[in-house]
């Protein structure tokens, strides 16, 4: 009905122009409030899916789009089943990866390093960079038609998220099993250390390669 009302002729155009149609349709979806489960209080059953947050240091790629299609399909399917459905969107600061991306950016564009900016200014610039990229990626997600509740969108450096992480860490630190072992403890372990970044790296961030050398 929407398409027919907004065309001078009831005949479909020979060439589909998404710019003339999709933004208007998505606005109708958003304005309806249907993506927010709080507006569906009469429904008893619930369905929730926390969407894996993409790294807020670039733009979406085909892998993100592929995953979103599946998760959005499940969300829309459960809404059709009459459930209060929440697709929770978010963005991840990505830690050391975003730091490296931004260091390359300021080196190329301004010819400076993080040491020229100092700790506090560098942190603030990286934070602002993440917020800017988050807004850009949110628009991309909307272009994909993602039926997420944007009023609940999270960023992994939001104060409430940071506080929850700290509270969980402290709780796990004080948690003791039947044998008296803590869930989190300080011990000795070989770690991955990057001399350039002057930082420890997680195992998942390290690529292993065999080389010839001397012991």
Average pLDDT over residues 129-155: 97
Question: What are the DSSP E strand ranges found in 68-126?
Answer: 84-88, 90-91
> What's the helix, strand, coil split of the chain in %, to 5?
50, 10, 40
pLDDT-derived band at 9, boundaries 50, 70, 90: low
**Higher pLDDT among residues 9 and 4, named by residue:** 9
pLDDT digits (tens, 9 = 90+) for 88-122: 999 999 999 999 999 999 999 999 999 999 999 99
- Looking at the chain, the whole-number percentage of residues with pLDDT higher than 90 is 71
Write out the two tokens for 43.
């429904």
**Cβ neighbours around 159 below 10 Å, total:** 7
| Cα 172–chain centre separation | 25
Does 3 score more than 70 pLDDT? no
**DSSP 8-state assignment for residue 55:** B
pLDDT-derived band at 202, boundaries 50, 70, 90: confident
User: Is 129 in contact with 102 (CB distance < 8 Å)?
Assistant: yes
User: Is 26 in contact with 146 (CB distance < 8 Å)?
Assistant: no
**pTM exceeding 0.75:** yes
Q: Which domains does the chain have, with CATH numbers?
A: 16-158 (3.40.50.620)
Q: How far, in Å, CA of 87 to CA of 148, rounded?
A: 5
Q: What is the pLDDT of residue 180?
A: 87
């Amino acid at each position: 009905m929407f398409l027919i009302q907004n065309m001078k002729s009831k005949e479909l155009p020979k060439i589909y122009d998404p710019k003339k149609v999709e933004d208007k349709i998505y606005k109708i979806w958003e304005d309806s409030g249907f993506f927010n489960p709080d507006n569906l209080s009469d429904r008893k059953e619930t369905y929730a899916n926390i969407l894996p947050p993409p790294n807020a240091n670039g733009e979406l790629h085909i892998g993100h789009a592929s995953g979103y299609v599946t998760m959005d399909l499940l969300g829309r399917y459960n809404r059709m089943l009459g459930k209060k459905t929440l697709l929770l969107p978010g963005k991840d600061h990505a830690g050391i990866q975003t730091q490296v991306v931004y260091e390359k950016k300021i080196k190329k564009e301004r010819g400076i390093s993080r040491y020229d900016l100092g700790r506090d200014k560098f942190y603030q610039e990286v934070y602002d960079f993440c917020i800017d990229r988050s807004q850009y990626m949110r628009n991309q997600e909307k272009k994909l038609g993602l039926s997420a509740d944007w009023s609940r969108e999270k960023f992994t450096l939001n104060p409430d998220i940071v506080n929850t992480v700290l509270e969980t860490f402290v709780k796990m630190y004080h948690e003791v099993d039947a044998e008296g072992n803590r869930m989190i403890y300080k011990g000795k372990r070989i770690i991955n250390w990057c001399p350039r970044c002057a930082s420890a790296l997680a195992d998942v961030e390290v690529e292993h390669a065999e080389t010839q050398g001397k012991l």
